[in-house]
Amino acid sequence: METQPLKIGVLGFGGLGQASARILEAKQEMRLVAVADQHGYAIAPEGLNIDQAIATYYEKGSIGYLENNGTLSNQSIEELIQKADVDGYFLALPNLPNTFMADITRLFIKSGWQGVLVDALKRTSAMEQMLTLKGDLKQAGITYMTGCGATPGLLTAATVIASQSFQEIHSVKITFGVGIANWEAYRATIREDIGHLPGYTVDQAKAMSDEEVEALLDKTNGILTLENMEHADDLMLELAGICERDQVTVGGVVDTRNPQKPLSTNVQITGRTFEGKISTHTFTLGDETSMAANVCGTAFGYLKAGINLHRQGNYGLFTAAEIMPQFVR
């Protein structure tokens, strides 16, 4: 008997949302049936035509203009939740302000919808808000997978695996390199990164006009260098009992004018074995793998794992450090 593909929705149709659509296009186990952006949404139970969807978003500014399947709306997410038949959503939304993802989650809880949600949330303080919703999610019959991008996400999960060799973890050092051809393809990601620069806050970054972002990037030749970032890898590893949060450091370099990575993304896990040896495991991502491949691929791996948890009646909130992602065929 042939099993039906899982019905997937993507909220946010910017850089990561569109990359998600491309990834799902090649999958047999998942089908993209619903998408929302800020001004509209589209539903296609037989699967969205991805070329048409992306072309419409570029030409007209919203997926809501999609012929036959689109609807314009300023409450796109609320309406989509009510109208679409979806097993799980990837929230490829900007977390601007820093409370946005928690607000969207409350919307889902209030709506009575049941299923799986996955995010690629970055900030520790944003994930702390999600943790407070754990009980409500459980009661609502929602399985929420948080921190399931690249970092946090893929690199945090790799840290959990690497830590098995050690009796005690001394440090976890995450260093990422991101190369994108132009910042406008990933506006939210870049604004949120600016929010990590010394002298900037999330609210300031959100309030910056595109011209102000351009001017800042002109000054740095398109490069953002980030150190000691507030990244939820620390909270997730602490919750998983691997180490204390202050033993985790995250930093990186983002080149907004070159698709080549300025450095290889890696995580170094240093610890002591039961024999008393101090050693470091390093997990390095291939330079040819893009941010989109590493974030969206991971998100769908966790979405599949989340759907299996949901089917077994496991609701609530889980982080990428406590569940193994599954491979989506």
Task: Please answer whether residues 265 and 176 qualify as being in contact, where contact means their C-beta atoms are separated by less than 8 angstroms.
Answer: yes
Catalytic residue among 7, 122, 206, 231: 122
- Measured from the CB of residue 256, what is the shortest distance to ligand NAD in angstroms? 11
- Measured from the CB of residue 34, what is the shortest distance to ligand NAD in angstroms? 12
- Measured from the CB of residue 217, what is the shortest distance to ligand NAD in angstroms? 15
Q: Is 296 exposed, middle or buried (0-12, 13-18, 19+ CB in 10 A)?
A: buried
Q: In this complex, which beta carbon is closest to ligand NAD, that of residue 100 or of residue 166?
A: 100
Q: In this complex, which beta carbon is closest to ligand NAD, that of residue 94 or of residue 325?
A: 94
Q: Which helix (H) or strand (E) holds 110?
A: helix 100-111
Determine whether 196 is an active site residue.
yes
- Name the token pair of 92: 């490829």
- Measured from the CB of residue 37, what is the shortest distance to ligand NAD in angstroms? 3
The alpha carbon of 149 is separated from its chain's Cα centroid by a whole number of angstroms, namely 4
- Residue 232 to residue 234: CA distance in whole angstroms: 5
Please give the order of strands across the beta sheet that includes 168-179.
Answer: 223-226, 248-255, 168-179, 266-272, 278-284
Binding stretches for ligand NAD (CB under 6 A) = 11-17, 36-38, 76-77, 92-95, 120, 122, 149-153, 186-189, 192, 291, 295
Written as one letter, the residue type at 91 is: L
- Measured from the CB of residue 279, what is the shortest distance to ligand NAD in angstroms? 27
Q: In this complex, which beta carbon is closest to ligand NAD, that of residue 107 or of residue 141?
A: 107
Determine whether 122 is an active site residue.
yes
Catalytic residue among 196, 231, 261, 310: 196
Determine whether 219 is an active site residue.
no
Q: Which residue's Cβ lies closest to ligand NAD?
A: 14
- Measured from the CB of residue 98, what is the shortest distance to ligand NAD in angstroms? 10
What is the total residue count of the chain?
329
At residue 310, the 3 state secondary structure works out as helix
Q: In this complex, which beta carbon is closest to ligand NAD, that of residue 166 or of residue 174?
A: 174
Catalytic residue among 46, 83, 134, 192: 192
Q: In this complex, which beta carbon is closest to ligand NAD, that of residue 91 or of residue 243?
A: 91
- Whole-number Cα distances in Å, 185 to 14, 18, 122, 259: 7, 10, 18, 11
- Name the token pair of 294: 């590493």
- Residue 236 to residue 81: CA distance in whole angstroms: 28
Q: In this complex, which beta carbon is closest to ligand NAD, that of residue 120 or of residue 158?
A: 120
Task: Please answer whether residues 39 and 70 qualify as being in contact, where contact means their C-beta atoms are separated by less than 8 angstroms.
Answer: no
* Active site members: 122, 192, 196
